Amino acid sequence: MTDEDILTRAGAIPVSTWSDALDYFDIWGVVQGMTLQSGSGRICGFATTARQVPGKLHEFEKAEFAVGRIVSAAAPGRVLMVDVGGQPISTMGGLAAYGTKQLGAAGVVIDGACRDVDEIRKTGLWLASRHVAPTTGKGRLRLMPLGCPVEIGGITVHQDDLVVGDETGVVVVPRAKVEEILPKAEALMAADLAVEERMHQGQTFAEAGRATGYLSPKG
């Protein structure tokens, strides 16, 4: 299966359904504590990982913030996953968000903070973060080598893991398991749609659930 095939099929599936599919494989991939700050709809892409070590003001040289390197790693079909240790220090503001959008990134998830939210929203960039804070990362954050494993909302994320996000939340699917889990997620979505179709035809939720097996112990 090509990466394009994966993104097309995976991007059609809601985050809640992905969470259910991951449960079948005993994989915990639900990112905790992120709030959608900008953008709408569903995003799907492969992770580009970045870690910024937090410190006190002047602990690091301003050049070590290196947000330009993070922005330059943005690309279509990629989601920037930035680990700031959950600290309320801003990794990305309006200009960096604009640059990320220009390069076509699917989205950004920051376990830390963003700022200039009004400007970010104008770009249309899909961005979720733990905090919104005006505090700059210049002099407070040091960027580590890109592509290393990071911790985002309690989930260890590796480069190229699959990331799906929508208004409900964000999930991470291990890259090595995507082709195994994807058919299960599609089957679960099909079951949901079957119940919905029967309800549109006038059945109650209970009736539609019984008719499709949706409410059975194995559903």
Annotated binding-site residue numbers for Mg(2+): 116
Closest CA to 96 of 135, 77, 70: 70
Q: DSSP for 147-215?
A: TS-EEETTEEE-TT-EEEEETTEEEEE-GGGHHHHHHHHHHHHHHHHHHHHHHHTT--HHHHHHHHTTT
Contact 67, 113 (CB under 8 A): no
Closest CA to 1 of 110, 200, 162: 162
Residue numbers belonging to the annotated binding site for substrate: 93-96, 115
Question: 196 to each of 189, 201, 209, how far by Cα in Å?
Answer: 11, 9, 9
Query: Residues at the annotated binding site?
Result: 93-96, 115-116
CA distance 49 to 9: 23
CA distance to 22, 29, 149, 152, per residue, from 156 (Å): 15, 9, 7, 6
